[in-house]
Amino acid sequence: MENMTPGKIRGIDELCTDEGVFAVLAIDHRDSFRAVIEGDVSNEEITQFKTELVSGVGAQASGVMLEPEYSLPQLVNSGAVKGSQGFMAALEAQGYMQDPWAGPTTVLDGWSVEAAKNMGASAAKLLLPYHPDRPEHAEAQRDFVTQIAAKCAQVDLALLVEPVAFGMPNERRGEIVLETVRQLTDLPIDVMKIEFPGNPDDADGWADACAAVDAACRQPWVLLSSGVTFEAYRDQLAVAFANGCSGFTGGRAVWRPATDAAVEQRAEAISGVVSDQFAELRALAVATATPWRAV
């Protein structure tokens, strides 16, 4: 919280439980969302799907992660996102999945930090393809983060940055995630959303990997799900929470059962298994995660 403004503090609090930990439903997916839904779906159908997810999980989510194509302002206008529930607004343009290393990240056309703030966002979120082995690209990405952070500071909006090293081999995961955190942590970032640093094939090393990240990261950090199974994500979170992690932003690991269900069974899947899974992760976070104000 050092040198953090009241506006940013308030915004982060809006995304957290009363205990000060993140239990965030991440549905800011766009290209990747289409990739996991069977068949050719319209923009309106994606908006409806996201509306059902947010409404189904409800107040169990301390906050939600949205984007300005299918869910902003739609889910705000419809009331699916409650007034008591904070939301993060994704800034990045799509297209990075084709070649994440083609160039530095850009903001979606027609969208901006100011627009996110004006819409009532609690924080801006920036997905950042980042790999320490690509020093020129990494430098350009750091410059971009600095520019975005300056714009967030101008409107007093918290910034969450999500560095992702696409194609990262399991045996180098700890090294890459840790070095990424080291290279980014001195930038004016308010919350870091990171990939799990432990090698999935070596659970004995998970605690040390998370502890190393916690020691290196000056910001509160939360764990993304990276599309793993719910069981794997739950196990990763348990270790991360025991080693300084301040919560989770759960995506496909939580809501995948809804995409697997037939349309006529989707509501049941959301109100049942998806809601139950989210509740389990929230309870784990509340019991064992490090409150962000304690970092």
Number of Cβ within 10 Å of residue 136's Cβ equals 8
> 282, 254 in Cβ contact below 8 A?
no
CA distance 184 to 225: 20
Break the chain into its structural domains and give their ranges: 6-290
Query: Residue 135 burial by CB count (10 A; 0-12/13-18/19+): exposed, middle or buried?
Result: exposed
CA distance 82 to 199: 38
Superfamily of domain 6-290: Aldolase class I (3.20.20.70)
Residues 6 or more apart whose CB falls under 8 angstroms from that of 58 comprise: 275
Name the strand (E) or helix (H) holding 248: strand 247-250
How many angstroms from the chain centroid is the CA of residue 176? Answer: 19
β-bridge partners, 63: 24, 86
Q: Phi then psi for 25, rounded to 5 degrees?
A: -90, 115
pLDDT value at 70 more than 90: yes
Between 102 and 194, the higher pLDDT residue: 194
Q: Which segment, 55-59, 96-100, 207-211, is predicted with the most confidence on average? A: 207-211
Ranges of beta strands (E only) in 177-220 are 191-194
Q: What percent of the chain has pLDDT over 70?
A: 96
pTM: 0.95
